[in-house]
Structure 1
Amino acid sequence: MANIKGAVVVNKERCKGCELCVVACPCQVLALQPTEVNDKGYHYAFMQNPDACIGCASCGLVCPDGCITVYKVKL
């Protein structure tokens, strides 16, 4: 079976920091940015642990604002 490496891209200006993606991630890849905020004043999601991402796209499926794009690369 091929190994899959995932990458999550978050549109930080659209993200409202609802944290649904953080909770939905089975590999604990995502977190909310603790120090920075977007133009609307929200702490946005980012890949805190990018090496753990398997590209399952659970985060993108639960995002109510469609801020998340998931890429998969076969290794």
Structure 2
Amino acid sequence: MSRIEVREDRCKGCLLCTTVCPVEIIAQSERFNAQGYKVIEVRDMDACTGCASCARMCPDMCITVYKTAKAAKE
């Protein structure tokens, strides 16, 4: 299962990642980090495709993507 991890301590709540997610699972949360920014949250991790668009868009490099390896065809 593909998934993303967010370093909330680095997130400044710019929401650029939400604009590029093809399955629209990233949204602004109600939580604040230590710097006072509203951080992002993933609403449905099972729907993550592992495309890494969010990580490429993030200016603060606070998103790490773990993509599930596809099974080899025989």
**TM-score, normalised relative to structure 1:** 0.86
Unaligned runs of 5+ in 1: none
Task: Extract structure 1 runs of 4+ deviating beyond 3 A.
Answer: none
* Contact preservation (8 Å) 1:29, 1:47: yes
Q: What is the match of residue 63 of structure 1?
A: 58
Question: Which one has a bigger Cα radius of gyration?
Answer: 2
1:47 aligns with 2:25: no
In the TM superposition, what whole-angstrom CA distance separates every residue of 1:3-54 from its partner, at most 9, and x where no partner exists? xx31010000100000000111001111111x21000111111111111100
**Percent of pairs with identical residues:** 44
* Contact preservation (8 Å) 1:29, 1:53: yes
1:31 aligns with 2:22: no
Structure 1 distance, partners of 2:27, 2:4, is 12
The count of aligned residue pairs is 70
Q: What is the match of residue 18 of structure 1?
A: 14
Unaligned runs of 5+ in 2: none
Q: Give me the CA root mean square deviation.
A: 1.1
Structure 2 distance, partners of 1:70, 1:9, is 7
